Each structure stands twice: as structure tokens, then as C-alpha cells.
Structure 1
Amino acid sequence: MTRVQRLPGGLTAVRIREYATAVLIAGGLLLVTACGDGGDSGSSAKNSPPARSTSTPPAASARTDPQAQAKAGVLTAYDGFWDAQVKAYAQASIKGTDLEKYATKKALGRAMGDVLVMQKAGTATTGAPTHDAKVTSLTLTGSTPKATVQDCLDISNWKTVTRKTGAVRPFPSTQPLRYMTTAQVEKWGKQWMITEITPDGTHTC
């Protein structure tokens, strides 16, 4: 999958047009920026529904089993991260979202960088992705408990639009709409945090 290009300081008009034709994979979402819409201050897209996980809820034993309880907490944080990211991309801003509550390190930096590109390109999103997320590894020993989440991400109903007009920007024909995404998660105090998220467009699901 093509690595997300970050917007450097002092971007020229030529570079803005280059970004306007670039494909941006934003934590799993393909964003096609709008040529000539950079810096648009028009109305943003309507609030999108939260990104709901379709993974199987943990059993009642999670209340007594430390491993099951931890996995439930990891998936709750993962869902919270996606809900916040969907809201941020729908308004092309992280203000008023819980993104910083659930994401840090590379995951937060990626999301904030994507939002900056969207602001410059005059785009936003509507709809939301769906998930089939599972905790595939969990380590509760050591100073920082860690986990890995693998998710079959479906972005078919998560559309990129031009903020000024609301026009939907189509996916490129080569873009897979369902593919695997891997998240690294760490427990900071009482809160599980998404530290890194890696979409893999070559691994469909």
C-alpha cells in the first residue's frame, strides 16, 4: 500500500495540485483530494455515523478472566479510536473529537497529518467503515501491557467528498474496499491507546 505523503511546510501551488491528485490512505480510508479546492473554507460534510465493530462481543467471563477483560478493553479502545477518527475526517478537524483520548504516537500523528491534507485539499468524508476486529496477541506482563489487533476493514461506505459542493469523489478502480489493517495498542495507566495503525491493501479480506 502506498505510504501516506505528509504535507511539508511552505507548500507551493504546484505542490498543492500534486497533492490534489494524490491517493491518500488515511488509517485505512482512501482519500482522493480535490484539485483546485485547497484551502476551501466551505461547509464540511454532515456528521458521519460512528464506525461500529462487527467483532464478536467478549463473553461474560471477561469480568473474571484477566486476559478476556484486557481483550475487551483493547477492542473498546479500538472502536473508540475509529469513532473519533471518523468524526475528525467528517469535519476535517480533530477539534471536539476523542482522538487524543484513544490515539498517540504514530497513530495520532497519521490521523492529524491526514486531517491537515484534507483541510488543504478541501475534502471531508461521509459514512463510516465497518470492522471485523480481533485481538491476535496480548502481553500483560512488564511495565506496559501491549496488544495487537487485526481488522478486516470495509471502506465501501466511507466516501470522500468535496466540502464545498458535497460531490462524492470515486475510488480508483485499483483500490480494494476490504483489506486487513493491523493496530498496535498499549495500556497507559488505565487506558488502552492505539499507538500505530498499518493498513495493508495487498491483503484483502
Structure 2
Amino acid sequence: MAAYTGMWQQMVKASETSDWQSPALANYATGDALGVINRSLYTDHLNGVVSKGQPLTNPHVTKVDPESNPNTVMISDCGDDSNWVKYKKDGSPFTDAPGGRRSITAEVKKQADGSWRVTRFAVEGVGSC
């Protein structure tokens, strides 16, 4: 759970400046998950967009595998990004789709060094939870 919540905290921090190269992101995400985050932040950087505020999360574990000594954990969440809003870097409003409650699923895997990182996640559309 710490890897999942840490990933979101670091995404929020990196989105304040659209820092797609933030090394802190790799402490919580790897593989496909890190790629999605980096591409999203890079797109915001290219478009001169930053984010303010913070999403709300309410994650819970839905599956551990294997149960006796897990190396994979599945997490479900109903996140709310209503208060995590994009702005142009000069502070002016950025026309963006309104936020809301979204279903999120994530896979967290134990790494070779013993740490846990989010390897994949999917965020569904507003109103999906």
C-alpha cells in the first residue's frame, strides 16, 4: 500500500512543475506504470501545463499472490481528482475535462531488492465508481 500511495504523492509533487524526470517517481513505480507517469508529465511539460491541488484516494487490497508469501498485490481504489486541477505555467486557467471519482486498479510487485513498486495501473473515466 505504501508504494501505491507514495506513487500518487510523488506524481502530485512532480505535476506541480511537470517534472517528468523526477527521480523520486522511480522509488514507487517501475515498468509500465513509470512509463505512463513520465509520458503524462512530459506531455504537460510540452503543453506548458502544471497541476495544483491533490487527488483523494481510498485504496484497498483486493488480492495477494501467493497468499503465504506475496510478491504481487492488487489494489482497487476510487480516486477523486476533482481538486487536482491543471493550469498553464503562468497561472491562467487551462481548459481541462472536469475531474471526479474514478475507478483505479493497480498491480504492485516485490522487486529483486525487496522493495515494492507499482508496475501497472489503470484509471477509468469519471463516474466509474
Q: TM-score, normalised by structure 2?
A: 0.88
Letter in 1 for 2:28: Y
Q: Identity rate of aligned residues, in percent? A: 27
Q: Residue 190 of structure 1 corresponds to which residue in structure 2?
A: 114
Write out per-residue CA displacement over residues 156-181 of structure 1, whole angstroms, 9 at most, x where no aligned residue: 100000002x1232443xx5510101
Unaligned ranges ≥5, structure 1: 1-74
Q: Residue 91 of structure 1 corresponds to which residue in structure 2?
A: 17
CA shift, 1:94, in A, is 3.9
Which of the two has higher C-alpha Rg?
A: 1
CA shift, 1:204, in A, is 2.2
Q: Residue 167 of structure 1 corresponds to which residue in structure 2?
A: 92
Distance 1:143 1:168 in 2: 48
Distance 1:176 1:124 in 2: 15
Unaligned ranges ≥5, structure 2: none
Once the two structures are superposed, the pairs formed by residues 1-205 of structure 1 within 5 Å of their partners are 75-96=1-22, 98-140=24-66, 145-164=71-90, 166-172=91-97, 175=98, 177-188=100-111, 189-201=113-125, 204-205=128-129
Q: Aligned pair count?
A: 128
Distance 1:201 1:177 in 2: 9
Letter in 2 for 1:106: D
Which is strand-richer, 1 or 2?
A: 2
Does the Cα contact within 8 Å between 1:87 and 1:97 map onto a contact in 2?
Answer: no
Distance 1:115 1:96 in 2: 10
Write out per-residue CA displacement over residues 7-65 of structure 1, whole angstroms, 9 at most, x where no aligned residue: xxxxxxxxxxxxxxxxxxxxxxxxxxxxxxxxxxxxxxxxxxxxxxxxxxxxxxxxxxx
Residues 1:128 and 1:194: Cα distance change in structure 2 (over 3 Å)? same
Q: Which runs of 4+ in 1 moved over 2 A?
A: 94-97, 140-144, 168-172, 202-205
Letter in 1 for 2:89: R
CA shift, 1:139, in A, is 0.8
Q: TM-score, normalised by structure 1?
A: 0.57
Residues 1:96 and 1:171: Cα distance change in structure 2 (over 3 Å)? closer
CA RMSD of aligned residues (A): 2.1
